A = this chain, B = another copy of it.
Amino acid sequence: MTLILTFLGKGGTGRTTTAIAVAKKLSRLGCRVLLTAQDPSLGWELGLPLDMNPTEIEPRLYGQQFFSTALLEKSWEKIKELESQYLRSPTLKSIYGQELGILPGMDEILRLNALREKAQSRQYDVIVYDGSGDLGALRMLGVPEIADWYWRRFRQILQDSDVVKTLLPFLQPITGAIFSASLNFDNLADSPKSPEKFLAEGRAFLSDPQRFAAYLVTTSQPQAVMMAQHLWGGAQQIGLTVKGVFQTPLDPAHTAMDVSSFSPLSVTHLPQRSGQDWESLINALPDVRDILPVPQPLSVEIAQRQVKVFLPGFDKKHVKLTQYGPEITIEAGDQRRNIALPPPLSGQPVTGARFKDGYLIISF
C-alpha cells in the first residue's frame, strides 16, 4: 500500500524544504519514494530540473513535476477513444490534446487523478506531494467528499427532469464510461465502474491515514500559526488526517510559539538547513510512517444519538450548522461538509449542538 503525504501551511514557511527532507529521510529508511509537485520551486530547490518523467535524485528517491498540460493531453486522448466507442459519429476527433488550455479546476482534478494512479501502480512506498498547501489543496483533496454529495443529492432530482429524460439514451453509456475514463483510464477494457463506487473509493482513500495524511508546517510567527490552525480545521472538513506539526526556524523575529495551540498533535522543531547540508534536518524528523493516535475527523455515536465533528483551529462563531436539505451541513473555513447519517439518525432533526475543545457535538 502506498502512503501519500502532503504539507499544509502558509507560503514561505518552508513547506518545500520540509517535503524534500521527509522524502530523503524515507528513502534512507529503505522506502521507494516519489517526491512530486506542480510548482517549479521543487526543482529549483533541488537544483535539478524536473518534468513529468520521474528522475532519480538519490537511491530509491525520484522527483517529478506534474504538468497539467501533459496530464490533460493524456486524458483527452482517452475521452476521444471512448467517444468513438460509444457514438456512431464521434465529433471530438478533430480537436487535439496539444491545443487544450487549462481552466480553473482542471489542475486539481488532473493532479488528484495522477496521484491516485501513482498510488495504485504500487511503484512507490511513499509519495510526498508538495502541493499548494492552502485552501486550494484542500479543495483538490476534498473532491471525493464533495463530488459524492453532489452525486447523491442531484441524482434523484435530475432523474425526474424532462431534460435528463430526453438525454438518457445518449448519456447512459457515455457518462459511466467517461466517469471511469477520467478517474481510471488504465483499464479501458474493464467494464466501467459506477460513479458511486469511484467516489466511495476516493473518500475511503483520502480518509485512511495509512494511505493519505498531512502535516502542518509553520514558523513561530503568529500569522503562520493561525494559518496552520485554520488549515488543520479545513483538513477535518474533508476527512483528511493531520498527523503532526513541523515548526521551521524561518521567522526572523523569533517569536515564541505556544505549542498547546496544536494539542493533541505533537510539534517537531526543525533546525535551519545550511546550504546543501540536509543531515541535521533529516535527523530531526520523526518517521512519518508511524501510526499516531490523532482525533478522527468524524465519529457517530448511535447509542447517544450524537455526532462528534473534530474542528480544531476554528472559532465557535465561525462554525455554522444547518439542516436545509436531507443531510446536516457544517460550514467552516469557507468549506461546507454535508453529512449523511446512518439509518437511526438519518433524517432526524438536530435537537442541540455545542462546541467544546475543538469538537462540534451535535445531538439528535
Contact = CB atoms under 8 A, between A and B. Distances in A.
A99 B153 contact: yes
Interface string A1-17: 00000000011110000
A69 interface: yes
A255 interface: no
A280 interface: no
A150 B40 CA distance: 27
A334 B68 contact: yes
B162 A166 contact: no
Contacts of A106: 105
Contact of A103 (B67, B150, B227): B150
Contacts of A170: 162-163, 166
Contact of A69 (B162, B252, B336): B336
B44 A146 contact: no
B103 A322 contact: no
A105 B102 contact: no
B41 A91 contact: no
A158 interface: yes
A68 B135 CA distance: 11
A257 interface: no
Contacts of A91: 157-158, 160-161
A147 B39 CA distance: 23
A363 interface: no
Interface in A75-102: 87-89, 91-92, 94-96, 98-102
A136 B143 contact: no
A227 B41 contact: yes
Contact of A87 (B107, B134, B163): B163
Interface residues of A, number: 75
A327 interface: yes
B162 A87 contact: yes
A167 interface: yes
Nearest to A140: B104
Interface in A304-339: 322, 324-325, 327, 329, 331, 334-338
Interface in A10-35: 10-13
A69 B331 contact: yes
A41 B223 contact: yes
Contacts of A140: 104
A285 interface: no
Nearest to A14: B12
Contact of A336 (B100, B153, B329): B100
A135 B38 contact: yes
A68 B324 CA distance: 18
Contacts of A166: 166-167, 170
Contact of A94 (B92, B145, B157): B157
Given A68-B334, A95-B153, A161-B91, A104 B105 contact: yes
7 contacts: A69-B334, A99-B153, A104-B136, A104-B140, A132-B132, A166-B170, A252-B252
Interface of A: 10-13, 38-41, 44-45, 67-69, 87-89, 91-92, 94-96, 98-109, 132, 134-136, 139-140, 142-143, 145-147, 149-150, 153-154, 157-158, 160-163, 166-167, 170, 222-223, 226-227, 230, 250, 252, 322, 324-325, 327, 329, 331, 334-338
By Cβ-Cβ distance, the 9 closest A-B pairs, closest first, are A12-B12, A11-B11, A105-B105, A104-B108, A101-B146, A96-B324, A104-B105, A91-B161, A99-B325
